[in-house]
Structure 1
């Protein structure tokens, strides 16, 4: 049971709920949602496979490879290429200082590449996603500043001398982006409340 929860936590269900709301806002069909979800989970598992963080069980590499292959087949869009390139680059941020510094931009870029095939991904929506995801990922770096400083990861907060543990800043950012996607999709606000509940229940499953 502990092993199952460890692996489940690494899949970050709290952020996947947010991603599903974004897919809905951009009019994703079922095939799109399945394919893009496979690409997303492949990214997360590849990230964990590369980072080998303490307290997190190791994934076998065929898992992320098969998820990516299946996702590419289902999505069948050229934007899969930049997504995979950016995903691979983001996974190296702990090894390459420059990538750590620009990791919020890389993360936002890979999410833009992920949503680009969707019918509702017009220029304004794509720009909004890029800006909000950059800010949210930067909040993630603020949250992890103490850990990153200890591991020698040169994120922007660490470079600016911030080395405190700030656990609540990222969940607040996540709540904001989920609210934006709900508004874009024209969904009732109880959907946002349900998303917040799932995020609150699953956030602490990820070993940190």
Structure 2
């Protein structure tokens, strides 16, 4: 039931925006999504499973946004600038993305273990959610590697400098997540550290 699952995740996210995770009730999430509580438990198994699935969806959404930005037209410098801006804006919009990127889990958020948890779910999406979640360091590597692969194209050229430039931009973006600069300054900072066109 992919439709019900997404509706339940939307309802859980909306509830989390209004109150701490400890005060989010499964019955209210089910009612808000217009499904039975049994459907909620069939999809997620427990409140912990729901929280884990919510975090997984935020991580996947963040990485999909990175892919979209990198697929945009422009030179590598502008694509990396857009990646940094996406990272900071995604963290600003979502407390879960911010927690995933920084490792700082506010008490009001679900804080699932990053390691995989035993899963008995028959729902493939929940089995995936019960798998390992990315740490901040792993997210840096994922974004760096995706950016380097996209910007290098299919040419088997030396990518060490490009990989370093990508990692520098990701880490600069993370510093802007924890200590936000003034509006529009993320792009200025990236352009300052990448004055020329990063070579693939």
Q: Same fold (TM over 0.5)?
A: no
Q: TM-score, normalised by structure 1?
A: 0.31
Structure with the bigger RCO (C-alpha within 8 Å, sep 6+) is 1
| Alignment TM-score, normalising by the size of structure 2 | 0.32
